C-alpha cells in the first residue's frame, strides 16, 4: 500500500486506528497475514505511538513504513497469556536509571505468541 502510494508511513503513524480498520478487509483473503499485520501495527506501532514521546517518532515512522518489524513477548511458558499469572517482574533501579527484568523460574521463560518467532 505504501509502494502504490495509498498511504505513507507518516499517515499510518498518525492514523493507526483508521489504518487498522482498513486492514480488516484483508481478512477475506488471508487471515494469517492480517494477524501478523495487526500484531505489528496494532501492538508494536500503536504501543510506540501511545507510550512514546517525540523522541520515539523516528522509531514509529520506521515501524509504520515496515522498515523494521516488531512483535512482543507477553506469553510465558507456564502462564500463556494469563497476565495475572505472569512471574516476570520489572524493578526500576534509580542508580542506573534502568529497569531490571527478573524471570525467576523455568515457567517464566518468554515465548512468542502463535508463530511470530518465525515471522516477526
> Against a cut of 0.75, is the pTM above it?
no
Q: What are phi and psi of 20, to 5 degrees?
A: -65, -35
pLDDT digits (tens, 9 = 90+) for 50-98: 999 999 999 999 999 999 888 776 678 887 778 788 898 999 999 999 9
Q: Is 3 exposed, middle or buried (0-12, 13-18, 19+ CB in 10 A)?
A: exposed
Q: What is the mean pLDDT of residues 16-34?
A: 85
The pLDDT of residue 49 is: 95
Q: How far apart are CA 103 and CA 25, in angstroms?
A: 39
Range scoring the smallest mean pLDDT among 11-15, 18-22, 45-49, 110-114: 110-114
Amino acid at each position: 500500500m505504501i509502494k502504490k502510494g495509498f498511504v505513507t508511513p507518516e499517515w499510518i503513524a498518525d492514523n493507526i486506528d483508521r489504518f487498522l480498520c482498513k486492514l480488516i478487509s484483508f481478512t477475506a483473503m488471508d487471515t494469517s497475514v492480517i494477524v501478523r499485520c495487526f500484531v505489528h501495527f496494532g501492538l508494536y506501532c500503536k504501543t510506540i505511538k501511545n507510550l512514546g514521546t517525540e523522541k520515539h517518532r523516528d522509531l514509529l515512522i520506521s515501524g509504520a513504513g515496515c522498515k523494521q518489524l516488531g512483535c512482543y513477548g507477553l506469553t510465558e511458558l507456564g502462564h500463556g497469556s494469563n497476565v495475572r499469572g505472569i512471574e516476570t517482574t520489572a524493578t526500576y533501579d534509580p542508580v542506573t536509571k534502568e529497569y531490571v527484568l527478573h524471570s525467576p523460574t523455568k515457567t517464566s521463560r518468554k515465548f512468542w505468541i502463535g508463530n511470530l518467532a518465525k515471522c516477526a
